[in-house]
């Protein structure tokens, strides 16, 4: 389904973005994504973080916090470059699918009006 495919891509774009700003960890990321209306289970999020790490986009550092060990993820140089490409893609997509669509919606009634005269 295109919506779910896009959501999964958008979730990865969010992860990559936040990992360029500051080190992130799984449960923080899940909360942040929930604020944007994305629901993602840990069963999806953790394998996703793992895959992004394998692809060289993120590095992981373990930190002990009390009794638990938390994994912090940070974007690599490759991740930062990939985010630039993602930004380009989002800009292009937004320009056409949102901005141009709004413009043609605005023009439509006027064109129809002219036709009826």
Binding region for Zn ion (CB under 5 A) = 14, 32
CB-wise, 7 or 32, nearer to Zn ion? 32
Q: What angle do CA 59, 37, 19 make, to 5 degrees?
A: 15
Q: Which ranges constitute the DSSP H helices of the chain? A: 2-21, 26-35, 42-54, 77-94, 101-116
Minimum Å distance from CB 85 to Zn ion?
18
Minimum Å distance from CB 38 to Zn ion?
9
Tell me which residue of 44, 16, 20 sits closest to 30, measured CA to CA: 44
Minimum Å distance from CB 18 to Zn ion?
6
Cα–Cα distance between 26 and 14 in angstroms, integer? 12
CB-wise, 37 or 43, nearer to Zn ion? 37
Minimum Å distance from CB 55 to Zn ion?
20
CB-wise, 31 or 114, nearer to Zn ion? 31
Cα–Cα distance between 64 and 25 in angstroms, integer? 13
CB-wise, 30 or 59, nearer to Zn ion? 30
């Amino acid at each position: 389904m295109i919506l779910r495919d896009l959501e999964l891509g958008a979730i990865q774009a969010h992860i990559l973005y936040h990992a360029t700003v500051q080190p992130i960890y799984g449960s923080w990321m899940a909360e942040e994504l929930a604020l944007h209306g994305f629901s993602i289970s840990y069963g999806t999020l953790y394998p996703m973080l793992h895959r992004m790490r394998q692809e060289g986009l993120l590095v992981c550092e373990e930190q002990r916090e009390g009794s638990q060990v938390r994994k912090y993820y940070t974007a690599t140089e490759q991740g930062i470059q990939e985010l630039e490409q993602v930004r380009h893609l989002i800009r292009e997509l937004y320009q056409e699918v949102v901005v141009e669509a709004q413009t043609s919606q605005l023009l439509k009634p006027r064109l129809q009006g002219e036709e009826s005269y």
